[in-house]
Structure 1
Amino acid sequence: MASDAKTLCDWSKKDFASKFDLLKTIVADPRFACIKCGRAACDKKWLCKGKPLEK
């Protein structure tokens, strides 16, 4: 995540549009959800307050 230091929680609408291929990878198999904004991701590092999704 070196070049993309921001979490999904901090992405702007422009970020979502310009980084759409990366976004598809991040959300393809969500295992964590942010308790601040509700976004989901494959890895906790992409979220500011990520909690594991129980299966």
Structure 2
Amino acid sequence: MTSVTKWEYATVPLMIHATKQILDNWGQDGWELVQVVPGPDGNGLVAYFKRPKEG
């Protein structure tokens, strides 16, 4: 039987003055950066992360 990876996702607002620190913190917790897009207001940025779901 083939095992299918199940994922969990997170969206995180990025503050331009702390972008590297934010990305590093999420990466240390096992999250992989998928994409960075403009925020809904058009001013900020939002990062999308994923990681394999435990269990």
Aligning the two structures, in what range does the TM-score lie when normalised by the shorter sequence?
Answer: under 0.3
Higher helix share: 1
Quick check: which has more Rg, 1 or 2?
A: 2
Answer 1 or 2: higher relative contact order, Cα 8 Å, separation at least 6.
2
The structure with the largest strand share of the pair is 2
TM-score normalised by L of structure 1: 0.26
